[in-house]
Structure 1
Amino acid sequence: MLTPVTDADGAPFWGYARQGELRVQACADCGELRFPPRPCCPHCQSFVHEWRRMEGHGRIWSYVRPHPPLLPAYAEQAPYTVIVVELSDAPRIRLVGNLVSRAGARLDSVPPGRLRIGARVQVVFTGDGLPQWVLERS
């Protein structure tokens, strides 16, 4: 498994994820949410920020099924689904991750016939804090 490359701006995101929390950086002055994290607010240019907890629900905005995978370590799980999720409580924020049947499941654990744009998903976390997504039960 890959480990995330962190920098000073993104490290808190991964720290919260290891605790099972999905948080997004927000400007402490104007309140604008932003992802990916960065030092300066693109709206008001403030350097003061905080981390807001998100509910972890969203909708599939887009997806791709890589053939073949770009990384050899994932070859036996290809093809698998990578989704872009539009967060329900922050629709301008979109996160990329894998769609799986449960936290830590194989990347190919969701049949492609279950995929559709607009499907509701919720975040789950692997044991080492990697955010993944599962389809919500309707």
Structure 2
Amino acid sequence: MGGPHHDAQRHDVPEADAFTRPYWAAAAEGRLLIRRCAACGRAHHYPREFCPHCWSEEVTWEEASGRATLYTWSAVHRNDLPPFRARVPYLAAVVDLAEGPRMMTELVDCPERAVRAGMPLRVAFRDGIPVFTPTGR
């Protein structure tokens, strides 16, 4: 474990497939997409081909506002997978998007002592991956 091949592999970038390619293309442009169901009207995230609320397949992509509220977080002090080992400590977070869905992410540009549940956040992008930062109140 941990040889040269292991070190070269990144564990923070999922492999895009035909279905998720629009999501990752938008993220590379600095836009956060979610899915919304035409049948029940509810938004969801992570992207799925069906609505997890009513099971309808009438779901489409929608650009999210990028606003969120911090639901919970955890300070990660050890993670041996690249590139995380170079980022520790970091703040793994779960946020509630303004549109309703809850999303796993990372909280950036915020010292751990300043973190509080319910704090307003906005999306930012690091290497085409959505992360969240405090709004500055």
Is the pair's TM-score, using the shorter chain for normalization, greater than 0.5?
yes
Q: Provide the TM-score with structure 1 as the length reference.
A: 0.80
- Unaligned runs of 5+ residues in structure 1 are 102-109
C-alpha change, 1:46 and 1:85, in structure 2 (3 Å) is same
Residue 65 of structure 1 aligns to a residue whose secondary structure is strand
Partners of 1:34 and 1:73 lie apart in 2 by: 28
Q: 1:43 offset after TM fit, Å?
A: 3.6
Partners of 1:76 and 1:18 lie apart in 2 by: 22
Residue 62 of structure 2 aligns to a residue whose secondary structure is strand
Q: Provide the TM-score with structure 2 as the length reference.
A: 0.80
Q: 1:38 offset after TM fit, Å?
A: 1.5
Q: 1:3 offset after TM fit, Å?
A: 1.9
Higher strand residue share: 2
Partners of 1:17 and 1:72 lie apart in 2 by: 21
Residue 49 of structure 2 aligns to a residue whose secondary structure is coil
Q: 1:70 offset after TM fit, Å?
A: 4.5
C-alpha change, 1:129 and 1:76, in structure 2 (3 Å) is closer
Q: Which among 74, 78, 87 is matched to residue 64 of structure 1?
A: 74
- Unaligned runs of 5+ residues in structure 2 are 1-9
Equivalent residues of 1:61, 1:84 under 8 A apart: yes
Equivalent residues, number = 127
Q: For each residue in 1:35-84, what CA deviation from the matched residue of structure 2 results, as whole angstroms up to 9, or x when unmatched? A: 12212223443323211111111111010112311414322321211111
Q: Residue 114 of structure 1 aligns with which residue?
A: 114
Report the RMSD for the aligned CA atoms in angstroms.
Answer: 1.9
Q: Which among 4, 16, 26 is matched to residue 36 of structure 2?
A: 26
Q: Residue 22 of structure 2 aligns with which residue?
A: 12
Q: 1:23 offset after TM fit, Å?
A: 1.4
Provide the identity percentage.
31
